[in-house]
Structure 1
Amino acid sequence: MRIRLLGGLEVTSAEGQPVRFATRKSALLFAALVLAGRRGHTRERLCEGFWPGRGDAQSRNSLRQALADIRRWFPAAGNAAISIDGDQETVALTAGPDEADIWLFERKLAESGTADLACAAELYRGDVLAGEAIPDGLDEWFRPYQTGYRQKALQLVERLSLALPETGSADEAACERLAERLLAADPAAEPAHRALMRIHAARGHENAALRQFETCRALLKKHLGVEPEAQTQSLATTVQTRGGNRLTASTHDTAQPTQAIAASARPHDQPSVAVMAFDNLGGTNDEYFADGVVEEITAALSRIRNFFVIARQSAFTYKGRFADVREVGRELGVNYVVEGTVRRGGDRLRISVQLVDADTRSQLWSERYEGATEDVFEFQDRIAAQVAGAIHPAIRGAEIELARRKPPTSLRAYDFVMRAYPNIWGRRKDTNNLAIELLKKAIAVDPAYGRAHALLAWCHASNAVFLWAESPESELEKARAAVEAAGSIGDDPTALTAAGSALSMGGDQERAASFIEKALALDPNNAWAWARHGWIAIYKGEEARAPERFQRAMALSPMDPFAFAVRLGMGYALAKTGSLSQAVAIAREVIAAHPDIITSYRYLAAWSAMGGDLETARWAAQKLMAGQPSFTIERFRSLPIFRNTPEWANKVVEGLKLAGLPER
C-alpha cells in the first residue's frame, strides 16, 4: 500500500521514496483523484473546484501543470502500478486495489469477519487528510469525504465491539485503539464510548465500563448540552446490573445519573434476592419438577412488596455449574441467594432450602420439608414466606398471604405445564410446538387449569407473529380462544402476562394492557410482564414509553435467555423515534449473540434499508430467506401488530422492499 489518506497524506513512489509534490494543489489534486477512484472527475469540475474564477484557459493550464507534477512521480507505462489516465473530458487514477488505504478500508468494511473489521479499524488513523492545510474553497470539496469516512469509522467501532469473540485478542486491541483515536478527534463520539464500555465489561471490569459511561455523559453535557443516547444508557444499565454496582456522580460533575438508568435500578434499601436452580436428587425425569419448585418460590417472592427478585430465567443461567454465591451476588446485583435440593421418590417429597448472604457467604436460615408429593404447593408457599421473613422481618403476614396462589387441582396437569415451560420462549418453531402438545395434555387432565390455557394462547400467538405457521390468522384465532378458555386467572401474574401477550400479538392492545397491568399490580418484579408492557407501547404508537419498561425488564432479568426480545424491543422503539443507526446496532448485537433467531434479520433488513444502508439490508434479507424461505412482505404486513400504526407499517414495507425481500 503506497497511498494513505486516512489520518494525513502519505504517498510512496515505485522506488519506495516519499513523494513530495511541487505544490500543495498538486498533492490535493492527487488526493481528490484517489477519493474518486476509477470513475475519476471531469476536467471541468476539477478546474472549477481547484482554480475557481481564473477563466477556462488559465484553469485548464493549471490543471495540466498539476497533472504533469503527479505524472513525474507516477509515469504512464504498461506495467505501472499507479498512473494517471484521461482524455479531453475526464481524468482518473488507475491503481491496484490494495494501493490506497481507503480502498482497502472500504473492502474490509464489506466483509463480516472480525479479522476483516479489525483490519479496517487499524487502517483508520484519523480523518481524511487530517493535519493537511487545505485552502479556502477546497475545504468544501473534501469535507463530505471527511464526514463520510468518520461516520463509517464510528459505525465500524460499534460493529466490531459487538462482534468481538473473546477478550485479549488482537481484534479487541484494534477496536480499542480505534475507539481511542475517534475520541481523541471528537470526545463526544458516543459509539466510541460504547465500544470501550463493552470492552471493559467483557474483561470483567464493570467499574471501568461505568466510569466510561460517566465520562461520556459529562463530555456530552459539556460539548453538546445533551444526555447520552438511549442505547448508551441501556448499555450502562446492563453493565450496572451485571456488576451490582451503583453509578456515582463524577467529582467534576455533580449531576445525577440519567433518569433511564435510575429508573431500572432498585433502591438501596430494597432487599434483593435470587432463587437459584435447586439440585435434583431424584431421577433425571424429575429435573423439570425441581425447576417447577423454584419457579413457584420465585413467583411468590416476587409478589411481596418492596422486594427485588431476579427472574428465574436469569438465575437459571448458573444451572449445572458451580457458582460462588459472592460471584452470583455481584453478577446479578443481589444481597441474598436461595439454594436448595429436591428429591421426589414415588409419592414422597423432600425439599431442603438455605438462605445465604451473598456478600459474606454466611448461612442465614435453612429448613427441610418432607411429606407427600401433593404437599409441594404448601411447601412452596411456606418456603417463600420463611425466606421473606428471614430477609425482612418487617414483612407483614398479610403480604405473605397475598403472595399465595391457588394451586392447580391436579399435580399431573402441573407436571405437564412445568415440562412445557422451558419451551415457550419464542426461539424455535419445534420447541414451541412441543410446548403446545404438553399444554394440551395438561388441559386434557385439568380443563379448568387457567395457566395452561394462557400459556397455550401465547404459544399459538408466537406461531403467528414469528410466521412459523402457514396460516397466522388461524393461530391467532386459536390464541384468542385459549384466552377465553383460561377463565378466571386474576390471581396468577404468569397467566395474566401470557394471556395479555397473546392478545397484544393479536392486535387487541387495550385489553392486552389491562391484563399486563394487572399482572404487574400483583407482581411488580415480573420481568416478562415489563417486557410485554414495552411491546404494547410500541404497538400502540406510544414508543416513547417503551424504553423505561424494557430497562426495568432487563434489570429484573439481566441474563435472561429471552433478553433478545427485550433488546429488539428497545431497537424497535429507537427506530420508530428516528434513531435508525442505534436500532441497527442493537439488531447487530442480537444477531452476533444469537445468529439462529431469524426474526432479528427482519428488523435488521428493514431498519438498515430505512437508514440508507442497502448493503447491510440485503445481507440481512438473504439471511432471513435462508432461515425462513416462506417469508413474504405481504404475510408480515398482514399481522395485527401493525393495526394501530399504519404509517409506520408502510415505512417498514418500503424498507423490506429495498432490501430485496419478496412481496408475495
Structure 2
Amino acid sequence: MSRSTVQPLTLDEADGPIRFGPFELDPDHFELRRDGQRVPIEPRTFDLIRFLAQNMGHTVTRDEIFSAVWPDRVVSDAALSSQIRSARRVLGDDGDSQQIIATVHGRGFRLRRQTAPPEAAGPDSDGRAAAARTGPPTLVVLPCTSLDDDGRGTVLAEGMTEDIIAALSRNRWLRVIPRSTAFALTGMGDEPAEIARTAGADYLVAGSVRRDGNRVRVAVQTLDARDMRCLWSETFDRDMTDIFELQDEIARLVSARVATELGITEQQRAARQARKNLGAWELYQLGSIEFYRFTPESNQRCQRLLRQAIHEDAGFGAPYARLAYAMILEMVYFDGEPNRARMDEALEFAREGVACDDQDANTLFALGRVRLARCEYELAIDALEDALRLNPCLALSHCGLGDSLAYEGRLDEAIDRFQAAIDLSPHDPFRWAFMSYRSLAHLFGQEFDEAAQWARRATQVPNAHFWAQANLVSALGHLGDCRAPEAVETLKRTRSDFSRNFARKRLFYLKDPAQLDIFIEGLRLAGVDE
C-alpha cells in the first residue's frame, strides 16, 4: 500500500492507561512510566509508542504510522527510523534484540504483548558492566552551580547552563535532555547518578561558576553515568566584560570538547561490544576508529564497516557522510585512483547523507569536502558555511572551510579558520590535519617559517599522515634549511615511492598552478626526486 492511498488514521481517544511489561502509558496525562517512575520522553516519540501500544500485538505498516503520528505532514522514512530508534531507546530496547518493538521486515512494526526486560549486561573487557544500549547516547546537563557566597554568579550560572545545552544540542548524534526536564529532575534533589538513571542518560555534564571581582572561573566536567567516572574536565578563566559573549564563548568551547571526548568514548564502547550485538551506530563508531588511523588498510576497513552500517539502517545519515569522505581520502592520501566515477560515487553518498538529515552539520561537512576534491570550490564553501551555521562548534567544519578558502587564495581567512579549529578542539583526532592544512596556507603565502613551524607540529601528532611530513619538506626546501635532507629521509621511510610526480598526481584538487608550483619547487629544493 502506498502512502498516497492509505486511509487516514488518528490516535484513538484516551480510555485509560495502557500497560505492557514494566511500562504504563497514560494518554490522559501524556506520561510514560516504568515501575511507577516517570520516564522523560519527547512528544513525537510518545505519540509513536502510544500508537503502537493501541495496536499491541498487531503489525502496523509504515504508512499507518505516518498517517497517525504525522497526520498533516509528509515526512521521510529517515524520520520514522529516527523515531523508532528513539522509542526503543526510551523503552530500553534496541534494534538487535527487539524485545519490545519488533521490526516485521517488509511490513512494519509491532509492539510485543509480552515484553521481557532487557538482558542484564555482562562485564566488558575492563571489568565494568557493559552497557545494554545500542544507538546514539543520551546526555543530561545538570544546572551549573554558583559558588559565590553573595549569589552574584547565579544569573551567570543559569545562563551558562542554557547556552551549554543549546550548543551541545547542535550535535545531531547526541540526544540532549531538554532544559525543562533537566531542571525538573535536579529540583527533585536526587544524586547525579540517580538523575542520570531517571533521565535514561548515558553521560552527564556538570559545571560551576565562581566570581572574584571582574574575574570569572567556569569549571565543567563530563561524567560516565555508569560509574560516575570523569571523562573530561576543564577550567576556563575569563574577564567579566560582556556576559553574553562570555557565555557564548565558553558554551562553544564546552560543546566542541565534550563532543570530541564523547565521540572517542563511543568509539571505545563500540570496540568492546560483542560483535553479534552491533547495530548501525556501533558499526559507524568502529568505522570511525579505522578512519582516524589514517593508513591504507584502515581506510579500507573503514569503508567496509560504514557500508555495513548503511545496510543496517539506510536512514542513518552519518555513515553515508563518513564513507564519502573516506573515499575522497583514499584518493588523496592513499592508493585510490582519483577518477571521475569514484568521485561521482562519493558525491552520491554525501548527498544521501544530507538527504537523511539536512540539519546535521557533519553531513554538510562531508559534502563540502567531496565538492573540494572535485575542484568545485564555490560549492564546497557553500556547504561548509551551511555546516557552520548549523553547528559553529564543529572544529572539522572550520578546518574544511579554511582548506577551501586557502585554495581560493583567501589565505588570511583560511588561517583564521584553522586557528578556530585548533582552539575549539585541541585534542581532536583530526588535529594533525588542522595544523598540516594550515602549513599549506602559509606555504602558498610564501611564509615559509610559519609553514615549517605548523607542519612540524602536525608531524608530532601520533596518527599524522605522511603529507604533514611532505609539507615540512617543501617548507624547509624553500628556506634552504640544513635539516631538509633529514626530513626527506623521514618522508621516504614512511612513503618510499614519494616523488615530485607522485605529489602532482595526488594534489589533483589544486586548481591554481601557482600553488602547485610553490609546493613542488620546495620539494625539488629539498632534494626530492622527480
TM-score using structure 1 length? 0.41
Indicate the residue corresponding to 1:145 in structure 2: none
SS at match of 2:201: strand
- For 1:597, the aligned partner's letter is H
Indicate the residue corresponding to 1:655 in structure 2: 522
Match for residue 290 of structure 2 among 423, 437, 442: 423
Q: Is residue 455–residue 498 contact of structure 1 (8 Å, CA) maintained in 2?
A: yes
> Aligned partners of 1:638 and 1:583: how far apart in 2?
22
Q: Please give the residue correspondences for 1:209-288 in structure 2 after superposition, counting only pairs within 5 Å.
A: 283-284=123-124
Match for residue 516 of structure 1 among 384, 397, 412: 384
Computing the radius of gyration from Cα coordinates, the structure with the larger value is: 1
Indicate the residue corresponding to 2:365 in structure 1: 497
Indicate the residue corresponding to 1:602 in structure 2: 470
- Residue 302 to residue 293, structure 1, CA distance change in 2 (3 Å): farther
Match for residue 338 of structure 2 among 465, 472, 476: 472
Indicate the residue corresponding to 1:621 in structure 2: 488
- Residue 606 to residue 503, structure 1, CA distance change in 2 (3 Å): same
The Cα of 1:284 is off from its aligned counterpart by 3.1
- Residue 637 to residue 517, structure 1, CA distance change in 2 (3 Å): same
Q: Does 1:531 align with 2:384?
A: no
Indicate the residue corresponding to 2:82 in structure 1: none
Q: Is residue 139–residue 204 contact of structure 2 (8 Å, CA) maintained in 1?
A: no
- Residue 579 to residue 459, structure 1, CA distance change in 2 (3 Å): same
Indicate the residue corresponding to 2:229 in structure 1: none
- For 2:444, the aligned partner's letter is K
> Aligned partners of 2:391 and 2:301: how far apart in 1?
28
CA offset digits 1:81-105 (Å, max 9, x no partner): xxxxxxxxxxxxxxxxxxxxxxxxx
Percent identity of paired positions between Structure 1 and Structure 2: 21
> Aligned partners of 1:302 and 1:659: how far apart in 2?
53
> Aligned partners of 1:540 and 1:600: how far apart in 2?
21
> Aligned partners of 1:302 and 1:439: how far apart in 2?
35
- For 1:515, the aligned partner's letter is A
- For 1:645, the aligned partner's letter is D
- Residue 516 to residue 653, structure 1, CA distance change in 2 (3 Å): same
- Residue 483 to residue 469, structure 1, CA distance change in 2 (3 Å): same
- Runs (5+) with no aligned partner, structure 2: 1-120, 142-159, 172-191, 211-217, 227-246, 252-276
> Aligned partners of 1:365 and 1:580: how far apart in 2?
40
The Cα of 1:290 is off from its aligned counterpart by 7.3
Match for residue 325 of structure 2 among 458, 477, 484: 458
> Aligned partners of 2:521 and 2:224: how far apart in 1?
61
CA offset digits 1:425-456 (Å, max 9, x no partner): 36333332222111010122233433211110
> Aligned partners of 1:520 and 1:311: how far apart in 2?
10
Q: Is residue 138–residue 200 contact of structure 2 (8 Å, CA) maintained in 1?
A: no
Indicate the residue corresponding to 1:568 in structure 2: 436
SS at match of 1:561: coil
Indicate the residue corresponding to 2:255 in structure 1: none
CA offset digits 1:493-538 (Å, max 9, x no partner): 1111122223223322222212211111111111111111111111
> Aligned partners of 1:637 and 1:288: how far apart in 2?
48
Q: Please give the residue correspondences for 1:140-151 in structure 2 after superposition, counting only pairs within 5 Å.
A: none
The Cα of 1:611 is off from its aligned counterpart by 2.2
- For 2:374, the aligned partner's letter is G
SS at match of 2:393: coil
- For 1:483, the aligned partner's letter is A
Q: Is residue 450–residue 487 contact of structure 1 (8 Å, CA) maintained in 2?
A: yes
> Aligned partners of 1:646 and 1:634: how far apart in 2?
14
Indicate the residue corresponding to 1:578 in structure 2: 446
CA offset digits 1:162-216 (Å, max 9, x no partner): xxxxxxxxxxxxxxxxxxxxxxxxxxxxxxxxxxxxxxxxxxxxxxxxxxxxxxx
CA offset digits 1:376-411 (Å, max 9, x no partner): xxxxxxxxxxxxxxx99xx9xxxxxxxxxxxxxx99
- Residue 429 to residue 535, structure 1, CA distance change in 2 (3 Å): same
- For 1:564, the aligned partner's letter is W
Q: Is residue 581–residue 611 contact of structure 1 (8 Å, CA) maintained in 2?
A: yes
The Cα of 1:358 is off from its aligned counterpart by 4.6
The Cα of 1:292 is off from its aligned counterpart by 6.7
- For 2:437, the aligned partner's letter is G
- Residue 596 to residue 560, structure 1, CA distance change in 2 (3 Å): closer
Indicate the residue corresponding to 2:427 in structure 1: 559
Q: Is residue 354–residue 364 contact of structure 2 (8 Å, CA) maintained in 1?
A: no
- Residue 644 to residue 297, structure 1, CA distance change in 2 (3 Å): farther
CA offset digits 1:552-591 (Å, max 9, x no partner): 1122112223211111222222222221012112222222
Q: Is residue 361–residue 390 contact of structure 2 (8 Å, CA) maintained in 1?
A: yes
> Aligned partners of 2:162 and 2:405: how far apart in 1?
24
SS at match of 2:279: helix
SS at match of 1:351: coil
Q: Root-mean-square deviation (CA), in Å?
A: 4.5
- For 1:580, the aligned partner's letter is F
Q: Please give the residue correspondences for 1:88-103 in structure 2 after superposition, counting only pairs within 5 Å.
A: none
> Aligned partners of 2:498 and 2:359: how far apart in 1?
39
> Aligned partners of 2:398 and 2:200: how far apart in 1?
34
> Aligned partners of 2:130 and 2:195: how far apart in 1?
9
Q: Is residue 456–residue 482 contact of structure 1 (8 Å, CA) maintained in 2?
A: yes
Indicate the residue corresponding to 1:447 in structure 2: 314
The Cα of 1:283 is off from its aligned counterpart by 4.4
- Residue 577 to residue 282, structure 1, CA distance change in 2 (3 Å): farther
> Aligned partners of 1:506 and 1:341: how far apart in 2?
51
Q: Does 1:433 align with 2:300?
A: yes
Q: Please give the residue correspondences for 1:73-222 in structure 2 after superposition, counting only pairs within 5 Å.
A: none
Match for residue 504 of structure 2 among 618, 627, 637: 637
> Aligned partners of 2:512 and 2:398: how far apart in 1?
21
> Aligned partners of 1:429 and 1:341: how far apart in 2?
45
The Cα of 1:293 is off from its aligned counterpart by 4.1
- Residue 445 to residue 362, structure 1, CA distance change in 2 (3 Å): closer
- Runs (5+) with no aligned partner, structure 1: 1-280, 313-338, 370-390, 396-409
Indicate the residue corresponding to 1:356 in structure 2: 206
> Aligned partners of 1:342 and 1:424: how far apart in 2?
35
> Aligned partners of 2:337 and 2:162: how far apart in 1?
38
- For 2:303, the aligned partner's letter is I
TM-score using structure 2 length? 0.50
- For 2:394, the aligned partner's letter is N
- Residue 557 to residue 343, structure 1, CA distance change in 2 (3 Å): same
Q: Does 1:482 align with 2:372?
A: no
The Cα of 1:311 is off from its aligned counterpart by 11
SS at match of 1:460: helix
- For 1:591, the aligned partner's letter is T
> Aligned partners of 2:292 and 2:465: how far apart in 1?
11
The Cα of 1:619 is off from its aligned counterpart by 2.0
CA offset digits 1:594-614 (Å, max 9, x no partner): 48631211101111112222x
Indicate the residue corresponding to 2:375 in structure 1: 507
> Aligned partners of 1:302 and 1:434: how far apart in 2?
40
> Aligned partners of 1:629 and 1:364: how far apart in 2?
45
SS at match of 1:357: strand
Q: Is residue 304–residue 523 contact of structure 1 (8 Å, CA) maintained in 2?
A: no
Q: Is residue 303–residue 524 contact of structure 1 (8 Å, CA) maintained in 2?
A: no
- For 2:338, the aligned partner's letter is P
- Residue 470 to residue 660, structure 1, CA distance change in 2 (3 Å): farther
> Aligned partners of 1:625 and 1:517: how far apart in 2?
37
Q: Is residue 170–residue 390 contact of structure 2 (8 Å, CA) maintained in 1?
A: no
Q: Does 1:543 align with 2:393?
A: no
SS at match of 1:644: coil
- Residue 415 to residue 596, structure 1, CA distance change in 2 (3 Å): closer
